[in-house]
Structure 1
Amino acid sequence: MVKVMWGSSLALAVALLLVTVANIPVAEGVTCSPTELASCSPAFMSASPPSATCCAKLREQKPCLCGYLRNPTLSQYVNSPNAKKVASSCNVATPKC
């Protein structure tokens, strides 16, 4: 019961975070918006493999990852073990910022 409540609370926190964080501008025509990674939420929250949509969005948002890492609100999610597993599964290298 506690695991279900914790997982639900974490999912709600991530959803709220994704909705409330402002876009981070980046060159090369990419609009950096963490909401673009919403399709990755199931994989970020569990050990489930990322969907093809998640991987496509993660590759699209790759130029934005350093900005997300510098953002104190987002860095804890980008640096999480599950986020690193998702990135690895999608063949997206962790950026060296």
Structure 2
Amino acid sequence: MAMRKEAVPVVAVMLMLVVLAPGKARAACEVTQLAVCASAILGGTKPSGECCGNLRAQQGCFCQYVKDPNYGHYVNSPHARETLQTCGIALPHC
């Protein structure tokens, strides 16, 4: 349960950043689509099929997220790397 309480502020911040982001960035990369991966990325739980599907759809955005100070530490975390591997997605090389 504690993990869920931690995930809520993270998801809220992600949503605010996407809403405030310029239109062009929002059209290409929707970080809100990764909210379903919060428990896997933050807590190391097994990612859902929806999470893996959304990660696949957002693959082209990974390097953008890595370079963003708001998301980089999540993308580079051990749990995020485990999540990508579990979903069969190659780790980004940025």
Structures share fold, TM-score greater than 0.5: yes
* Segments of 4+ moved more than 4 angstroms: none
* C-alpha displacement of 1:81: 1.0
The letter for the 1-side match of 2:35 is A
Q: TM-score, normalised to structure 1's length?
A: 0.79
Match of 2:15 in 1: 19
Equivalent pairs counted in the alignment come to 90
- Secondary structure at the residue paired with 1:14? helix
What's the CA shift for 1:8? 4.5
Larger radius of gyration: 1
- Quickly say closer, same or farther: Cα 1:20–1:45, change in 2 above 3 A: same
Q: Matched residues in 1 for 2:46 and 2:91: separation?
A: 18
Q: CA–CA distance in 1 between the matches of 2:4 and 2:50?
A: 22
**For structure 2, which runs of at least 5 residues remain unmatched after alignment?**
none
Question: 1:46-86, CA deviations, whole angstroms, 9 ceiling, x for partnerless residues?
Answer: 23210111000000000000000010011011111111110
Deviates more, 1:17-26 or 1:76-85: 17-26
Deviation at 1:10, TM superposition (A): 2.5
Flag the structure with higher helix content.
2
C-alpha contact 2:4 2:39 (8 A) present in aligned 1: no
Query: Over the residues paired in the alignment, what is the CA RMSD in angstroms?
Result: 2.1
| TM-score, scaled to structure 2 | 0.82
The structure in which a higher percent of residues are strand is: 1
For 1:61, give the aligned amino acid. Q
Whole-Å separation in 2 of the counterparts to 1:21 and 1:88: 27
One of 48, 64, 67 as aligned partner of 1:67: 64
- Counterpart of 2:6 in structure 1 is 10
Q: Sequence identity of aligned pairs in percent?
A: 32
Match of 1:92, SS state, is coil
